[in-house]
Amino acid sequence: MRRTQNRGWWWVWGLIVTVAGAMGSRADDSPPDPTRYRSPGQLAISARAGRLAVADQTRRSVVLVDADKWKIAARVPLAGRPTAVVWDPAGSVLYAAEHGAGTVAVIDGAKGEVRSRIRVGKWPAALAAAPARTPRRLYVGNQDRHTVSVVQWDANGPQVVKEIPVSREPSDMEVTPDGRYVVVANLLPHGSGLDPDLSAEVSIVDTQTLSVAHAVKLPPGSTLVRGVCVGPKGRWAYVVHGLGRFTSPITQLERGWVNTYALSIIDVAEGHRRATVLLDELTRGAADPHSIVVSPDGRYVWISHTGVHEVSRVDVGLLHELFEGNVPKWLVDLKDGMRDNIWVEIQRDRSKISVLQDDLTALFIARAIERWPSGGTGPKGLALSADGTRLWVANYFSGGVSLLQTETGRVDTTLSLGAQPEPDAVRRGERIFHDATYAFQRWHSCASCHANEGRVDGLRWDFLADGIGNAKDTVSLVWLHHTEPMNRRATVATAKECARGGLQSTNGLVPTEQDVEDLYAYLTSLRPMPSPHLDENGRRTAAAVRGKAIFEGRAGCAQCHPAPYFTDRKMHNVGVLSPNEPDGRYDTPSLIEAYRTGPYLHDGRAVTLREVLVEHNEKGLHGKVKGLSEQQLKDLIEYVKSL
Ligand code: HEC
Ligand code: HEC
C-alpha cells in the first residue's frame, strides 16, 4: 500500500523533474532560480538585544534569531543580496548592505522591519559602525567603486559626507574601539601580473582626516582578503587571506606549493604588518578563510574556512609573546633534530619573523592553532557572544547556523533557517566549486583562484598544459561555454573538458562523472552582473554610446571582439609577446565584465584598460587606436567598462 502511494508520488515528481529539465534546456541562458535555497552568509550579534542577524544570501533576506531561545524571531526581505550586516552600537538598529540595489537597509531590530534606506555604491559589500561614545557614523565599502562611503547623520537624516578611494574591492572592515581608524580589507591585488611582489593590501582609514593613512601591503601572492577584525585595545588588526605561490610553476599541490592560507597581524596606528602566519598543516590545507572574530580579552581569534568546512582558533596572545622573543621553555626544548625551531630562531633574530609566511609548522609546534568541524558545509560568517563563550557559525551550503562552545570547540546545536530543498545539479556544482575537500590534501577549491563566483584572483599561474615558465592571468568563467576553446592558448577544446580537467589536474583527484556534470551545470549557470558603469536606469552613458561606435567602427575592435560574447573564439597575434611564446598568438578573450577582471592580457601585464590599448600596444597591432583623440580613447574605454 505504502509502496503504491510512493510510486504515485514519484510519478508526479518525475513529471515535475521532466518539465523543469525541459525548461532548463529550452532556456539555456536563464539559470535556475537559486532563491529557493537558504544560504547564510554573514552574521552579527547584538549583545544588548540578544539578537543574532543572519544574512541569507540566496533568499535575499535577513533572519533575526533570538539568541537565547534559539528561535527565529523575524525574517526581513531585502532589496539586494545581503553581503554584510552590522548592528549600531546600541544594538537596536541593524544595517544590511543590499548588493546590486545600491542601498543599505536600516532595520528596526526589535520589529524586524526596514525603516529606511541609505543610497551608496551599487555593490555595497562591507559595513562598519562607529563605536559608542563617538559621533554616529556608518562606513560602507563599495565593491564596484573601490571606495568607502562615510555616512553621517544630521537633522535631515543620513548623508554620505565623503567617499574615500581604497585599493580594490573592499570586502570587510572594522573600526578601532576609539573610533579613530577603519581597517579595510581589499579582496584582490591591484597591480601587474609581472610584478613578483603583487599582493592585496589593507587600507587603514583615518576617521579624522577621512583619508587613507596607511596602505599595508600583504606578502607577495596575497589575495582573497575576506575577513578583518580589531583587537579590544585597538592596537592590532587581524586579517585572513589566501597566499598564492604564483611565481612557482604548478608541478605539484603538496605542502602548500600552490595555495596557502594566512593570518596577517597589523599594527593599526603604525600601519605596519607585524607578521603573517600560515593556518595550514603540512598535509592539510585550511582553504578559503572567510571571517575572523576576536575574543573579548583579545587572546584568541576564530576563523571560518569555507573550503574545508572548519573553524580554527588561533592563540594570538601567545603569538604576540613569541614575536617578542618570550618563548616558553617546553617550546625552546622542542628541537628539530639538532636544530632549534623557528620560534627560537626568532628569539635570537627578530628579523626572522618574515620567514613565518613560508613556514607550515610554526603554529602547530607552538600549539597556537586548533581546527574543528564547523557543524555544516561552507562556513562563512562568524559571531562571538560578549562573554566569549559561544561562537555562531553560518554554514552557507547546509543552510543553518551552528553554535559552538568556545571552551571545547564542539558544536552544541544547529538552527536551520528553514526547509532546505534537495540541491539540484547547479547547487551541487556550486558546492563542488567551493569545496577544497575535492582537492588533494584540501589545498584549494576552484574558488580559491576564481573568486567572486567564478571570476578572478588578480594573480597569474603557471600551469603546465601550455609549457613551463609562461604563467597566465586567471580568467573569468562567465559564459565559458560560449567562448570555447578554453584557456589563453586554446589548450582545451570544450568547457566540459575544462571542468573535468580542473578537478583532475588542478585539484589532483579523480572526479566521478556526476561531479563533472554538476560542476559543469554550475559553471554554465554563471551570468554576468549588469555593469556598475551603466547609469541609474541600466543604460549606457553618453560616453559609452560614443565609445560603442568607435569600437564597432574605426577602431576595428568588433572584428575580433564581436557581440554578444565579444570574442571570435580565434587566436591572434596582437603584438603582446612573451619570451617562451614567440608566435604571440592568444585566444581572444571575452570583454564581458572586463571592468572587474584585471589585470589584463595573457600574463596580466596590463593593470588598466588604457594600458592594454596604449602602453602595451606600441606596434598598433591591437585595434586601430593610434589615430584616436584622447576623448575618443576615453569613450572607447567607457564602452568596454559597460559590457
Ligand atoms: C591555482 C589557481 C586556479 C585554480 C585552483 C583553478 N583555476 Fe581555473 N584557471 C586558472 C588560470 C590561471 C586559468 C587560465 C589558464 C590559461 O589561460 O592557460 C584558468 C582557466 C580556467 C578555465 C578556462 C576558462 C576560459 O574561458 O578559457 C576554466 C573552465 C577553469 N579554469 C575552471 C576551473 C575549475 C572548474 C577549477 C576547480 C576544479 C579551477 N579552474 C581551479 C586558475 C585556477
Ligand atoms: C586582431 C584581433 C583583435 C582586435 C582587432 C582587437 N583585439 Fe583585443 N584582444 C585580442 C587578443 C588575441 C587578445 C589577448 C591578448 C593577450 O592575451 O595577450 C585581446 C585582449 C584584449 C583585452 C584584454 C582582456 C583580458 O581579459 O585580458 C582587451 C581589454 C581588449 N582586447 C580590447 C580591445 C579593444 C578595445 C580593441 C579595439 C581597439 C581590440 N581589443 C581589438 C584580439 C583583438
Mutate to test the pocket of ligand 2, among 460, 480, 574 (most ligand atoms within 8 A of CB): 574
Task: Check if the beta carbon of residue 43 is closer than 8 Å to that of residue 381.
Answer: yes
Alpha-helical (H) ranges within 413-466 are 425-433, 451-454
* Strands lying side by side in the sheet with 157-165: 124-129, 137-142, 147-154, 157-165
Distance in angstroms (rounded) separating the CA atoms of residues 181 and 484: 47
Task: Measure 502 CA to ligand 1 centroid, in angstroms.
Answer: 7
Select from 553, 554, 580, 558 the least CA-distant residue to 568: 558
* Closest residue by CA, ligand 1 atom 39: 446
Q: What is the pLDDT of residue 465?
A: 87
* Closest residue by CA, ligand 2 atom 19: 588
Counting ligands in written order, the one closest to the CA of 621 is 2
Q: What is the pLDDT of residue 36?
A: 87
Q: Phi/psi class of residue 604: alpha, beta or left (left: φ > 0; alpha: ψ in -120 to 50)?
A: left
Q: What is the pLDDT of residue 11?
A: 39
Looking at residue 512, its amino acid is T
* Closest residue by CA, ligand 1 atom 15: 487
Cα dist. 318→292, 303, 407, 416 in Å?
Answer: 17, 17, 17, 36
Distance in angstroms (rounded) separating the CA atoms of residues 511 and 586: 29
* Ligand 1 pocket by Cβ (under 6 Å): 258, 444, 446, 448-450, 461, 463, 466, 472, 474-475, 477, 480, 483, 486-489, 495, 498-499, 502-503, 506-507, 519
The four Cα atoms 67, 72, 73, 78 give a dihedral, to 10 degrees, of 110
Task: Measure 602 CA to ligand 1 centroid, in angstroms.
Answer: 13
Mutate to test the pocket of ligand 2, among 487, 573, 622, 639 (most ligand atoms within 8 A of CB): 622
> If the chain, 643 residues long, is cut into consecutive pieces of 10 residues, what is the mean pLDDT of each piece?
37 40 43 81 94 96 96 96 97 97 96 97 97 94 98 94 98 97 98 96 98 98 98 98 94 92 98 98 97 98 98 98 96 92 96 96 97 97 96 97 96 94 95 97 97 97 92 96 95 94 92 96 96 94 98 97 97 94 96 97 97 94 94 98 98
Q: Which domains does the chain have, with CATH numbers?
A: 34-165 (2.130.10.10), 425-523 (1.10.760.10), 542-641 (1.10.760.10)
* Strands lying side by side in the sheet with 181-186: 170-175, 181-186, 201-206, 211-217
DSSP character at residue 303: E
Counting ligands in written order, the one closest to the CA of 620 is 2
Please give the distance of CA 72 from its chain centroid, rounded to a whole number: 28
Q: Is the dihedral of CA 247, 251, 257, 258 positive or negative?
A: positive
Looking at residue 256, its amino acid is G
CB atoms within 10 A of CB 1: 5
Task: Check if the beta carbon of residue 195 is closer than 8 Å to that of residue 459.
Answer: no
Phi, psi angle pair for 244, to nearest 5°? -85, 135
Q: What is the pTM of this model?
A: 0.93
Q: What is the pLDDT of residue 566?
A: 97
Q: Across the chain, which distance is largest between two alpha carbons, in Å?
A: 81
Distance in angstroms (rounded) separating the CA atoms of residues 388 and 373: 19
Distance in angstroms (rounded) separating the CA atoms of residues 215 and 204: 6
